[in-house]
Amino acid sequence: MTVLTAKPDVRPANPNFSSGPCSKRPGWSLDQLADAPLGRSHRAKPGKAKLAEAIDLTRKTLNVPDDYRIGIVPASDTGAVEMALWSLLGARGVDLLAWESFGAGWVTDVVKQLKLDNARILKAPYGALPDLGDVDFNNDVVFTWNGTTSGVRVPDGNWIADDRAGLTICDATSAAFAQALPFDKLDVVTFSWQKVLGGEAAHGVLILSPRAVERLESYTPAWPLPKIFRLTKGGKLIEGIFKGETINTPSMLCVEDYLDALKWADGLGGLSGLCARADANLKVLADWVEKTAWVDFLAEDSATRSNTSVCLKVTDANVLALPDDQQTAFAKAIVSTLDAEGVAFDIGAYRDAPSGLRIWAGATVETADLQALTVWLDWAFALEKGKLPQAA
């Protein structure tokens, strides 16, 4: 490996590589939001029309079946997932899949908060998946499609039974708009538009299959539901939620920003164009990792490697010889150096994940910026390694 001593000449034009909120789309500006109905009620005709348009464009872009409901809900993806867990679980056993931080968080919700005693936990360490063949589809199944903090995703939906008795509840927040979601295999899908589309935070999207609606209308949980989680009234789905009549007040500025991103996606050819951009970005990083001795993917299997939240680990022998806390400090030093240079912001590993780097490669990131970043990563690594007493 060539040791770089001089700073690279080419900088990323956009140094924003955060995994959420993620980079705005190329060409974005506040001027694009001038049509937002600010200072108006979201229940007035202009606001309701904007919310309905956002739902319609979501359906078009993600290829959501016509008989699935789409609702805009509060509290980002977390709110959408917890609405589903609190409203749907308890009717039968539940399998919980966890291989990174957010999946582990849903385990905590179900086991420690809902206190379900018929829950099975299928776990895997960071970098791997649980054995998907062990899932019992007589139970409800809760899982993340793409592990945002580990860079590991499920390979496809083939492992999900067509004749399942339970519901599949899928947290797809860093997968939606970058990975094809087989809705025939999914009964509940949640995401936040702050991820692949680079929208503003605090709003979630909840998608329900007819089977999920049937459960909502035929089952009443044993626990009380706060108003913000209630999806039914008098045993019937509150249909207005899925027509733009939100549970609480949304930001119409954020909705306008989401509409802008959806229209940009439409100009790329929709989902296929978005996926192609993310795949091209992953390839840049994969090509760099293949030729670079000091770094590797945290995800062990290329078939389950995320094309959005790309998680990397330092594999240099001198660094691995250090105590764990010093390995963590080394990775953080690379992050801090590139931040100080204004080259890359927010690329540190998630706080609960193994030490390393996490680089967002979703559709709003330009391939050229990732190409420029890899050179700077090599430079920063060489700079920090040169400070180690073990370095040659």
Output the CA–CA distances (angstroms, integers) from residue 299 to 98, 154, 196, 311, 378, in the order listed: 14, 11, 20, 7, 20
Q: Label the pairing between strands 119-123 and 94-98.
A: parallel
Please, what is the average pLDDT of the chain?
96
| 35 part of a folded domain | yes
**Structure confidence at residue 1 as a pLDDT band (50, 70, 90):** very low
User: Has residue 336 been placed in a domain?
Assistant: yes
Q: Are residues 207 and 59 in the same domain?
A: yes
State the Cα–Cα distance between residues 80 and 106, nearest whole angstrom. 12
Q: Decide which of 219, 236, 267 is a domain's last residue.
A: 267
Confidence at 303, pLDDT banded by 50, 70, 90: very high
What's the domain range around 186? 30-267
Query: Are both 39 and 91 inside the same structural domain?
Result: yes
Residue 391 above 90 pLDDT?
no
pTM: 0.97
Backbone angles phi, psi at 29, to 5 degrees: -155, 160
Q: Is residue 4 part of a domain?
A: no
- Contact residues for 277 (Cβ-Cβ < 8 A; gap 6+): 268, 362, 363, 365, 367
Distances (CA, A) of 205 to 15, 56, 133, 193: 28, 12, 29, 8
Residue that terminates a domain, selected from 226, 252, 267? 267
pLDDT band at residue 4, thresholds of 50, 70 and 90? low
- The verdict on residue 17 lying in a domain is no
Q: Which residues of 185-194 are buried (b: 16+ CB within 10 A; e: fewer)?
A: bbbbbbbbbb
Q: Please, what is the end-to-end C-alpha distance for the chain in angstroms?
A: 13
CATH code for position 300: 3.90.1150.10
pLDDT tens digit string along 89-134?
Answer: 999 999 999 999 999 999 999 999 999 999 999 999 999 999 999 9
Does residue 343 share a domain with residue 223?
A: no
Tokens 């867990």 correspond to what residue? 85
Residues 214 and 143 in one domain: yes
Which of 225, 166, 176 shows the shortest CA–CA distance to 204?
176
Pair 155, 37 in one domain: yes
3 within a domain of the structure (yes/no): no
Q: Are 356 and 327 in contact (CB under 8 A)?
A: no
CA–CA gap between residue 100 and residue 188 (Å, rounded): 20
Per-residue model confidence as pLDDT tens digits over 212-228:
999 999 999 999 999 99
225 with 285, same domain? no
Domain of 116: which CATH number? Answer: 3.40.640.10
pLDDT per position as a tens digit, 37-91: 999 999 999 999 999 999 999 999 999 999 999 999 999 999 999 999 999 999 9
Say how many domains are in the chain. 2
Pair 168, 311 in one domain: no
Cα(91)–Cα(220) distance, integer angstroms: 8
225 and 321: one domain? Answer: no
Determine, yes or no, domain membership for 7: no
Are residues 287 and 364 part of one domain? yes
Same domain, 299 and 371: yes
Same domain, 164 and 239: yes
Is the residue at 22 inside a domain?
A: no
Q: Are the beta carbons of 316 and 388 closer than 8 angstroms?
A: no
CA geometry: angle at 286 spanning 281 and 288, to 5°? 100
| Residue 330 CA neighbour count, 13 Å, CB half | 30
Beta carbons of 49 and 56 less than 8 angstroms apart: no
Q: Are residues 263 and 283 in the same domain?
A: no
Last residue of a domain, one of 248, 267, 286: 267
Extract the tokens encoding 194: 């702050």
* Distance separating alpha carbons of residues 11 and 251, to the nearest angstrom: 35
19 within a domain of the structure (yes/no): no
